[in-house]
């Protein structure tokens, strides 16, 4: 039987910047409550709060709450894409181009 309510664990812990981890829904809620009020009011954190409440009440998946919290934590991180290998079809002419 899976845990219900705020003691429900995430499928994988959420890593925090200083090495700590958020393991349960309650850990995530406590973390958010310790943020400054202005930070809590940001759209990404509001989404995370909504998803956490839904997961704790059994209306939503814990995975959705985890994803929302990860997005809020990493909202200022710029995504870096590496160069990809050229596709093999770029070297040959396609039949339609002959």
pLDDT digits (tens, 9 = 90+) for 39-86: 999 999 999 999 999 999 999 899 999 999 999 998 887 777 777 766
Torsion of CA 66, 72, 75, 79, to 10 degrees: 0
Helices first, then strands: H and E counts in the chain: 4, 2
The answer to whether the predicted template modeling score (pTM) of the entire model surpasses 0.75 is: no
What's the Cα-to-Cα distance from 5 to each of 26, 47, 98, rounded to whole Å? 9, 18, 64
């Amino acid at each position: 039987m899976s845990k219900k309510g705020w003691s429900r664990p995430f499928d994988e812990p959420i890593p925090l910047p200083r090495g700590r981890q958020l393991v349960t829904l309650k850990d995530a809620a406590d973390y958010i409550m310790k943020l400054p009020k202005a930070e809590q009011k940001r759209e990404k954190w509001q989404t995370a709060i909504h998803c956490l409440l839904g997961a704790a009440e059994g209306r939503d998946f814990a995975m959705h709450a985890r994803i929302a919290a990860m997005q809020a934590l990493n909202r200022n991180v710029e995504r870096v894409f590496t160069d990809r290998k050229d596709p093999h079809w770029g070297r040959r002419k396609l039949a339609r181009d002959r």
